[in-house]
């Protein structure tokens, strides 16, 4: 996230030297893979432009997991999260197919409305559930952000990328060269539907590490004498738990499907 432009240029130049067989002596495989990681994290694969720093895949919003949320704070954090997600989706979009700005706006509004509606609706239902004890009610409320974010992510993907179902997507050979489109309407739908489905499923799994694991872990840690006697430590500890969840589980979620998928002829 914080690599300087000079370091990015060095990484890109190293990969170009490797491609043309002009690598300086002493360059190791580890250095080449490091350069590849830097390039893939910062440079858009379709446009070859530098992605704005806050909208790279390493950005995050932790406010969704703050304890004792009010109605106003729930709405605010869901709106902020979906606004950030919309910018991330646009910055990392499939740029091989040009989409009008109206599609981006539709996806953004659909994601915000669905996320806020589900989060507020579930919170209201939990508050009105008289059968739950206050402790159980608080625990359930901690999991409300996940279904709200997951459903909003699906809504965002479908609204922003449904043109692929109508116009199709590029078909590539083993070397990454574009060989055209699927002319058969059913075949075109199968290709685009699989791409859309895998993207949508990934967007459901992506929030799990940060919105499911920390509430479980924090509900156990908050019962310890350390946090009971020092309530001000709850937020710093929760931030560390979120960071650990991101670092360990997020790479697994991202690797759920290959970036380039295959479909049988």
197 and 68 in one domain? yes
Number of folded domains in the chain?
A: 2
Domain boundary among 206, 223, 238: 206
pLDDT, residue 15, reads: 93
pLDDT, residue 17, reads: 93
For residue 20, being part of any structural domain is answered with yes
CA dihedral sign of residues 39, 62, 239, 199: negative
**Chain segment 5-26, per-residue pLDDT in tens:** 899 999 999 999 999 999 988 8
pLDDT band (50, 70, 90) for residue 32 = very high
pLDDT, residue 115, reads: 79
Token pair in block for residue 52: 């704005």
Identify each DSSP E strand in the chain by its residue range.
171-172, 178-180
The separation between CA 14 and the C-alpha centre of its own chain, rounded to angstroms, equals 29
For residue 218, being part of any structural domain is answered with no
Q: Which of 72-76, 83-87, 214-218 has the highest mean pLDDT?
A: 214-218
Token pair in block for residue 200: 């949508």
36 and 115 in one domain? no
Enclosing domain of residue 9? 5-41
- Give the pairing type, strands 171-172 and 178-180: antiparallel
Q: Is 214 helix (H, G, I), strand (E, B) or coil?
A: helix
124 and 28 in one domain? no
Contact 89, 160 (CB under 8 A): yes
**Chain segment 186-219, per-residue pLDDT in tens:** 555 677 777 778 888 888 888 888 788 888 888 8
Q: Which of 96, 209, 208, 106 is nearest to 157 (CA)?
A: 106
For residue 211, being part of any structural domain is answered with no
For residue 56, being part of any structural domain is answered with no
187 and 76 in one domain? yes
Contact 63, 75 (CB under 8 A): no
**Chain segment 161-175, per-residue pLDDT in tens:** 766 666 767 777 888
- Residue 69, pLDDT > 80, answer no
24 and 88 in one domain? no
165 and 89 in one domain? yes
Token pair in block for residue 253: 């979620």
- Residue 74, pLDDT > 70, answer yes
36 and 67 in one domain? no
Domain boundary among 162, 179, 206: 206
Contact 213, 246 (CB under 8 A): no
26 and 117 in one domain? no
The rounded distance, in Å, linking the Cα atoms of 220 and 161 is 40
**Chain segment 121-138, per-residue pLDDT in tens:** 887 887 777 777 777 777
């Amino acid at each position: 996230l914080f690599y300087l432009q000079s370091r990015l240029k060095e990484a890109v130049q190293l990969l170009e030297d490797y491609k043309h067989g002009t690598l300086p002596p002493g360059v190791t495989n580890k250095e080449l893979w490091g350069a590849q990681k830097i390039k893939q994290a910062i440079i858009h694969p379709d446009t070859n432009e530098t992605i704005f720093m806050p909208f790279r895949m390493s950005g995050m919003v932790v406010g969704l997991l703050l304890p004792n949320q009010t109605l106003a704070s729930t709405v605010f954090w869901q709106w902020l999260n979906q606004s950030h997600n919309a910018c991330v989706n646009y910055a990392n979009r499939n740029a091989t197919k040009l989409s009008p700005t109206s599609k981006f706006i539709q996806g953004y509004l659909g994601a915000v409305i669905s996320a806020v509606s589900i989060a507020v609706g579930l919170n209201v239902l939990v508050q009105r559930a008289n059968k739950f004890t206050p402790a159980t009610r608080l625990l359930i409320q901690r999991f409300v952000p996940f279904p709200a974010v997951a459903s909003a992510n699906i809504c965002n993907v479908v609204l922003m990328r449904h043109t692929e179902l109508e116009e199709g997507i590029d078909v590539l050979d083993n070397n990454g060269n574009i060989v055209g489109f699927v002319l058969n309407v059913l075949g075109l739908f199968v290709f685009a539907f699989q791409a859309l489905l895998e993207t949508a499923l990934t967007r459901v799994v992506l929030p799990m590490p940060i919105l499911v694991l920390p509430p479980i872990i924090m509900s156990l840690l908050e019962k310890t004498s350390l946090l009971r006697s020092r309530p001000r430590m709850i937020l710093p500890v929760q931030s560390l738990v979120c960071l650990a969840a991101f670092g360990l589980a997020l790479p697994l979620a991202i690797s759920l499907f290959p970036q380039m998928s295959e479909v049988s002829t």
